[in-house]
Structure 1
Amino acid sequence: MSEQDKKQIDAATGVEVNAHEWDGIQELNTPLPRWWLWSFYACIVFALGYVVVYPAIPFRHSASAGTLGWTSRGELKKELASAEIARAATVKALADTPIEAIDPKSPLMRAAVEGGKAAFKVNCVQCHGSGAAGSKGYPNLNDDDWLWGGNLKEIHATLEHGIRQPGDDATRISQMPAFGRDQLLTAAQIQDVVSYVRLVSRQDPATASAQQGAKLFADNCAVCHGTDAKGNRTLGAPNLTDPIWLYGGDRASLTATVTNARAGVMPAWGQRLDPVTVKMLAAYVHSLGGGE
C-alpha cells in the first residue's frame, strides 16, 4: 500500500487527517497560511540581525556590545547633556539675579517656580507634606502667617541658612524660655497666661484668669510677642492673635508650649543644595499662595 493510500482524508473538507487522536477526536492537518509563515521567517531574520547590531546576548559579567555601539545608557547621557545645555542660560540668569529682583511675571520666574517644585518634592515634603500644608510642628506654607517673613528675600534667607542650625552664623535663631520647666512661672500662673492667649486669639471669653494672665504676659512675653501679642518676625516670635498655630492652640498644647518652650529645627539648605536650587525653592514656596 502506498503512502498516499495510508493517508486519511476528511470527507467534508478534503484535508488530510492527522494519525493521532484523543478520545476519538482527530484534527485536520491544515497547513499554515503563507502570509503567516513568511511573517514568522521575517521575524527570525529580524531577531538575528538585532542580536548582531544591538546589545542583546547576556554573558556572565557583561553583554554583547552590538556592531552599532548603541546603549540605552548612552542615549540617556546624551539627552541629559542636551537638557543641561538647554537650561544653562536659565541657570546662569538665576545665579546672576538676586531673588527679589526677578520679575514675578517673567519666564525666568516661571522657570524658577517649576524647578523649585521639583526640588521641593525631593527635599521638603518629608516635613511639610506633598501639598506644603505642613503638620504639627511643621508650618503650613500655603497661608500668609510667617515666623520670619514671607517675601522672596526673607524666604530665601530662611531656606539658605535654616533655623537653629549649628555651623551657620546667619541661621534663624529664637529662644523661648521654658517658663514651667525652668520654674520661671508657677503652674497656676502658666494657666493664667494660657487664658490670656486664648482670649486674644478669640477662643475664650474674658475671665479673671485671663486678666491676671495679661499682666504676666506683659512682664514675661511682650518683649518678644509684642504688647499686642501680634509677634515679631525679627525674633521669630509668632502672632498669637490669629487662628494659625504651629503646635496647637488648644489649652493643653498651649500649656505644653509655655511650660517647656518650642525649638523647631530646619536644615540650612545652603549647605546642602547649590545656590540656584535654593533660589528656585524660595520662588516655589513664595508662589504657593502665602508669599508676600
Structure 2
Amino acid sequence: MSEKQIDDVTGVETTGHEWDGIKELDNPMPRWWLYAYYATIVWAIAYTIAYPAWPLINGATTGVLEWSSRGDFWKENTRIQGERQETLTAIKEKSVQEIMADPQLNQFAVAGGAAAFRVNCVQCHGSGAQGAPGYPNLNDDDWLWGGSIDEILQTIRHGVRAKDDDDTRISEMPAYGDILEPQQIREVAAYVTSLTSTPHDAKLIPAGQQIFAENCAACHGENAKGSKEFGAPDLTDAIWLYGSSEADIAKQVRKPQHGVMPAWEVRLGDTTVKQLAIYVHSLGGGE
C-alpha cells in the first residue's frame, strides 16, 4: 500500500496524479453540490414514476399520472375542433349574406377562406390573389362573370369550363382564324387596340370597327364593354388576361385561349366554398 502524499503548501492529501510537476489535490466535493446531485437523482426517479419514461416494445411506461404532451395536445385539439364545429355548422346552414352580416361569423369565414385559398388557389391566382398571365387578378373590379358575393360563390362552386359540373360557367370565343381573312384579323385587332391604346396602323380602324360590329358585338357589346352574362371581357378597360399588345389581341382573335377553373364545391364542400367566396369578396374587388 503506497504512502499517502500530503501537499506541503495546503496540507491536503493528493490523488497521486501529477502532470508537469503539478499535483492534483483530493479535496472533497462541496456539500451543497452533493445535495444538489442527490436531489437530481431523487427527481429523476420520481419523474420516471409519474410520467411516461421507460421505452417498451410497443410503447412506453405511462406513469402514475397518465399524462403526456401528445395526449394533452389531442385533448386541446378536440376541444378546439368542437368549438370550430359549432361555427362551421352555422356557416353551412346560413347564406353568405347572413354570414357576412354576423361580425363573428364573417371574421371566421374570412380567416378560413384565406387558409383554403393558400392551399388551393395560389397556384394560379398568386399568393396575393394578384393573378398572372391567363389567370385573373381578384383584387380589381374587372370580373368576367360578375363580382357580387353570389356571383363569386357561383363561380367557385361550379368552376369555369369544368368538365365534371353541369352548372359550370361556359363561354367559348370562336377561332376567327377559320372565319376571317388575315387582313380582317389585323383590322379588328387594330380597332380593339384603339379602344385603350394606339394601333400600329390607324387606317385599319374603320374596317376593324365594322368587322367587330358584325362578329364580336353580340358578346362584347356594341360599345365593347363586355357582358357578364356570357363571360365576355370588357375590351375598353386595359385589363387583359392574355396580353394587351396588338399582336396579342390578333393572336387571341385568331386562335383564342380558354382558361379552366375547377368546380370547387365537389372537392372542398359547401362550407369551405362559402368561406372562400367571402374571403375573395373581402379582398376589395368585386361588387
Distance of 1:14 and 1:55 partners within structure 2: 50
Q: CA deviation at 1:59?
A: 4.1
Distance of 1:190 and 1:228 partners within structure 2: 19
Matching residue's letter, 1:116: G
**Structure 2: tracts of 5 or more residues without a match:** none
Matching residue's letter, 2:5: K
1:1-292 equivalent positions in 2, closer than 5 A: 3=3, 6-9=4-7, 11=9, 16-104=13-101, 106-180=103-177, 183-204=178-199, 207-292=202-287
3-state secondary structure, aligned to 2:268: coil
Relative to 1, partners in 2 of residues 1:198 and 1:82: Cα closer, same or farther, differing over 3 Å?
same
Q: Which segment drifts farther, 279-288 or 194-203?
A: 194-203
Q: CA deviation at 1:32?
A: 4.1
Relative to 1, partners in 2 of residues 1:31 and 1:235: Cα closer, same or farther, differing over 3 Å?
farther
- Post-superposition CA distance 1:33-61 (Å, at most 9, x none): 43333333323332333333333333455
Matching residue's letter, 1:226: G
Distance of 2:73 and 2:198 partners within structure 1: 58
Distance of 1:14 and 1:212 partners within structure 2: 117
**Deviation above 6 Å: which 4+ runs of structure 1?**
none
- The answer (yes or no) to whether the contact 1:163–1:265 under 8 Å persists in 2 is yes
- The answer (yes or no) to whether the contact 2:100–2:278 under 8 Å persists in 1 is no
Query: What is the Cα-based RMSD across aligned positions, in Å?
Result: 2.5
Q: Which segment drifts farther, 83-92 or 129-138?
A: 83-92
Matching residue's letter, 2:45: L
3-state secondary structure, aligned to 2:240: coil
- The answer (yes or no) to whether the contact 1:199–1:205 under 8 Å persists in 2 is no
Q: TM-score, normalised by structure 1?
A: 0.87
Q: CA deviation at 1:162?
A: 0.9
Q: TM-score, normalised by structure 2?
A: 0.89
Matching residue's letter, 2:229: T
Relative to 1, partners in 2 of residues 1:48 and 1:151: Cα closer, same or farther, differing over 3 Å?
same
Distance of 2:248 and 2:84 partners within structure 1: 47
Distance of 1:291 and 1:35 partners within structure 2: 72
Matching residue's letter, 1:100: Q
Distance of 1:146 and 1:30 partners within structure 2: 85
Distance of 1:126 and 1:77 partners within structure 2: 32
Distance of 2:190 and 2:160 partners within structure 1: 29
- The answer (yes or no) to whether the contact 2:124–2:131 under 8 Å persists in 1 is yes
Q: CA deviation at 1:66?
A: 3.2
Relative to 1, partners in 2 of residues 1:140 and 1:17: Cα closer, same or farther, differing over 3 Å?
farther
Relative to 1, partners in 2 of residues 1:204 and 1:251: Cα closer, same or farther, differing over 3 Å?
closer
How many aligned residue pairs are there?
Answer: 287
Distance of 2:279 and 2:68 partners within structure 1: 36
- The answer (yes or no) to whether the contact 2:168–2:263 under 8 Å persists in 1 is yes
Q: CA deviation at 1:26?
A: 4.6
Distance of 2:13 and 2:52 partners within structure 1: 45
Distance of 1:255 and 1:19 partners within structure 2: 97
**Structure 1: tracts of 5 or more residues without a match:** none
Distance of 2:146 and 2:8 partners within structure 1: 91
